[in-house]
């Protein structure tokens, strides 16, 4: 059975000074269930400057992840952050190819593949985001888009490496619109099938695929109940520690 994985994506929100309170509330909500740490992997994708404080607040209980990395190890890339710098700060994971990076910072499938490769080579866990726009869904191109995004990345992955995918329909991100349980399951099953074709059944059946896009306590357990949905990448709702804790507990409940 795949262990649920619930990741917060804080995007460009919060201040380091707010994190001690955030984690105090979160932890006090989580003590409602014993051993929640063993049942769910929990991660926080924090803005770069918040990473050291987030790392401190998480202790060994939660994973801290960056929201982006640069694909080159060092060099003349003003304003960018290298993987080695993240590792020095104790950060061993990063989101890669979030749709906001693709949309606002022109990240192509090729760049996403290069970043994924750099993470894997450095022993960092990449959480690679894929998903279709509203127009693509309406023109019935969802599976073509997902296949194209996956096929760019999968050649850089080998079966002994660890990677997580997040299916994030762009039309559901920050819009309050969520994919239905059935739409999400259909996409997740498709993704797992493509991965299986490229990397084999064993790898595909142990791969965790997270759902992202207006996930919140009210809709999360229905999504988690789907066979191919292994957790969530949570934006807006993760800014409220009580809501995010409720979602972690739902994932823990489902894992029992
Ligand atoms: P949302 O964001 O939960 O606010 O829709 C999810 C994401 O962008 O990862």
Task: Note the pLDDT tens digit of each residue in 202-233.
Answer: 999 999 999 999 999 999 999 999 999 999 99
Phi/psi at 232 (5° precision): -145, 155
Query: Counting atoms of ligand 1 from 1, which one is nearest the CA of 172?
Result: 5
Q: Is the CB of 234 under 6 A from ligand 1?
A: yes
Phi/psi at 128 (5° precision): -95, 125
| Sheet bearing 5-9, strands edge to edge | 63-65, 41-45, 5-9, 231-234, 208-212, 164-167, 125-130, 93-96
Task: Note the pLDDT tens digit of each residue in 130-186.
Answer: 999 999 999 999 999 999 999 999 999 999 999 999 999 999 998 888 899 999 999
pTM: 0.97
Distance 241 CA to ligand 1 centre (A): 15
Active site (annotated) includes residue 168: yes
Q: Which of 215, 216, 240 to mutate to test the pocket of ligand 1 (most atoms within 8 A of CB)?
A: 215
Active site (annotated) includes residue 100: no
Kindly tell me the sign of the dihedral angle through the C-alpha atoms of 184, 39, 157, 238.
Answer: positive
Distance 212 CA to ligand 1 centre (A): 6
């Amino acid at each position: 059975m795949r262990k649920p994985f619930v990741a917060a994506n804080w995007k460009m929100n919060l201040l380091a000074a707010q994190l001690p309170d955030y984690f105090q509330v979160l932890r006090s909500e989580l003590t409602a269930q014993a051993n929640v740490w063993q049942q769910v992997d929990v991660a926080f994708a924090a803005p770069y400057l918040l990473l050291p404080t987030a790392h401190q607040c998480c202790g060994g209980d939660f994973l801290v992840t960056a929201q982006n990395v640069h694909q080159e190890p060092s060099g003349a890339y003003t304003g960018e952050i290298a993987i080695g710098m993240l590792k020095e700060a104790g950060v061993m994971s990063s989101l890669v190819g979030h749709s906001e990076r693709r949309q606002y910072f022109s990240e192509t499938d090729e760049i996403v593949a290069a970043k994924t490769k750099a993470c894997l080579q450095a022993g960092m866990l990449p959480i690679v985001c894929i998903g279709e726009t509203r127009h693509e869904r309406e023109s019935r191109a969802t599976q073509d888009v997902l296949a194209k995004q996956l096929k760019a990345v999968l050649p850089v992955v080998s079966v002994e490496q660890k990677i997580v995918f997040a299916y994030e329909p762009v039309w559901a991100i920050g819009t309050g619109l969520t994919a239905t349980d059935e739409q999400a399951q259909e996409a997740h099953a498709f993704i797992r099938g493509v991965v299986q074709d490229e990397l084999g059944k064993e790898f595909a059946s142990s791969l965790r695929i997270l759902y992202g896009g207006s996930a919140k306590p009210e809709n999360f357990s229905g999504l988690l109940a789907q066979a191919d949905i292994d957790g969530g990448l949570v934006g807006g709702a993760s800014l409220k520690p009580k809501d995010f804790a409720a979602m972690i507990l739902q994932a823990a409940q489902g894992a029992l």
